[in-house]
Amino acid sequence: EKLQLKHGSHRVGKRTDAVMAKWRGYGLGQFIHWGLYAIPGGEWNGKQYNGAAEWIRSWNGIPKSTYDSLIYKFNPVNFNAEEWAATAKQMGAKYVTITTKHHDGFCLWPSKYTNYTVANSPWKKDIMKPLIDAYDKQGIDVILYFSVMDWNHPGWRYDIKTKEDSIAFEGFKQFTRNQLLELLTLYPTAKGLWFDGTWDKSWVKQAAFADELETEMRKLRPGLIIGSRFRADENGKRHFDSNGVLMGDYEQGWERKIPNKIEDVHGNDWDCVMTVPENQWGYNKAWKGHIKTTNELLEMTAKCVSLGGNFVLNFGPQGDGAIRKEEKQLAAQIGDWMKTNNEAIYNCEYAGLEKQDWGYFTKKTGSDKLYMIVFNVPVSGALKVKLPANTSIGKSYLLAQPAQLLNTEEISGTEYFIHLKNTAAGKPFVVVLEPNAKKGSGNTYD
Ligand X SMILES: C[C@@H]1N[C@@H](c2cn(-c3ccccc3)nn2)[C@H](O)[C@@H]1O
Q: Select the span of 4-12, 47-55, 134-142, 403-411 touching ligand X (CB under 6 A).
A: 47-55
Residue number with the smallest Cβ distance to ligand X:
281
Q: Select the span of 51-59, 293-301, 384-392, 396-404 touching ligand X (CB under 6 A).
A: 51-59
Task: Report which secondary-structure segment, H or E, holds 214.
Answer: helix 207-220
Among 5, 28, 38, 52, binds ligand X (CB under 6 A): 52
Q: C-beta of 255: minimal distance to ligand X in Å? A: 5
Q: C-beta of 118: minimal distance to ligand X in Å? A: 19
Alpha-carbon distance of 170 to 187, in angstroms, equals 26
Instruction: Write each residue from 262 to 301 as x if it is in contact with ligand X (CB under 6 A), else as -, in one continuous string.
Output: -----------x-------x--------------------
Q: Does 68 bind ligand X (CB under 6 A)?
A: no
Alpha-carbon distance of 143 to 23, in angstroms, equals 10
Task: Report which secondary-structure segment, H or E, holds 19.
Answer: helix 18-24
Alpha-carbon distance of 140 to 135, in angstroms, equals 5
Q: Is 364 helix (H, G, I), strand (E, B) or coil?
A: strand
Region at 350 (left for phi over 0; alpha for psi -120 to 50; beta for the rest) = beta
Q: Select the span of 50-58, 84-92, 318-326, 339-347 touching ligand X (CB under 6 A).
A: 50-58
* Total number of residues that touch ligand X (CB under 6 A): 8
Report DSSP state, residue 282: S
Q: Does 200 bind ligand X (CB under 6 A)?
A: no
Q: Among residues 116 and 371, whose Cβ is nearest to ligand X?
A: 116
Q: Does 196 bind ligand X (CB under 6 A)?
A: yes
Nearest to 87 by CA among 77, 78, 96: 96
Pairing of strands 28-32, 310-315: parallel
Alpha-carbon distance of 86 to 90, in angstroms, equals 6
Q: Exposed, middle or buried by CB within 10 Å (0-12, 13-18, 19+), for 210?
A: buried
Q: C-beta of 291: minimal distance to ligand X in Å? A: 18
Q: Among residues 88 and 273, whose Cβ is nearest to ligand X?
A: 273
Q: Among residues 98 and 393, whose Cβ is nearest to ligand X?
A: 98
Q: Among residues 55 and 135, whose Cβ is nearest to ligand X?
A: 55
Nearest to 348 by CA among 307, 405, 300: 307
397-419 in b/e form (b: 16+ CB < 10 A) is bbbeeeeeebebeeeeebebbbe
**For residue 356, how many other CB atoms are within 10 A of its CB?**
16
Q: Among residues 52 and 323, whose Cβ is nearest to ligand X?
A: 52
CA end-to-end span of the chain, whole Å? 43
Q: Among residues 252 and 391, whose Cβ is nearest to ligand X?
A: 252
Q: C-beta of 122: minimal distance to ligand X in Å? A: 25
Alpha-carbon distance of 36 to 31, in angstroms, equals 17
Q: Does 54 bind ligand X (CB under 6 A)?
A: yes
Q: Among residues 194 and 371, whose Cβ is nearest to ligand X?
A: 194
Q: Among residues 52 and 374, whose Cβ is nearest to ligand X?
A: 52
Looking only at residues 335 through 374 of this chain, which bind ligand X when binding is defined by CB under 6 A? none
The β-bridge partners of 238 are 232
Q: C-beta of 256: minimal distance to ligand X in Å? A: 8
Q: Among residues 52 and 213, whose Cβ is nearest to ligand X?
A: 52
Q: Does the CA dihedral 345-350-351-356 come out positive or negative?
A: positive
Nearest to 363 by CA among 342, 377, 347, 387: 347
DSSP structure string for 324-362:
PHHHHHHHHHHHHHHHHHGGGTTTEE------BTTEEEE
Q: C-beta of 275: minimal distance to ligand X in Å? A: 8
Q: Among residues 53 and 420, whose Cβ is nearest to ligand X?
A: 53
Task: Report which secondary-structure segment, H or E, holds 136.
Answer: helix 128-137
Q: C-beta of 181: minimal distance to ligand X in Å? A: 22
Q: Among residues 196 and 269, whose Cβ is nearest to ligand X?
A: 196
Q: Select the span of 17-25, 48-56, 207-215, 370-378 touching ligand X (CB under 6 A).
A: 48-56
Q: Does 254 bind ligand X (CB under 6 A)?
A: no
Q: Does 150 bind ligand X (CB under 6 A)?
A: no
Q: C-beta of 212: minimal distance to ligand X in Å? A: 25
Q: How far is CA 288 from CA 79, 329, 374, in A?
A: 25, 18, 30
Q: Select the span of 52-60, 154-162, 215-223, 240-248 touching ligand X (CB under 6 A).
A: 52-60
Q: Does 255 bind ligand X (CB under 6 A)?
A: yes
Q: C-beta of 17: minimal distance to ligand X in Å? A: 26
Q: Select the span of 9-17, 49-57, 323-331, 401-409 touching ligand X (CB under 6 A).
A: 49-57
Would you tell me which residues interact with ligand X (CB under 6 A)?
A: 33, 52, 54-55, 196, 255, 273, 281
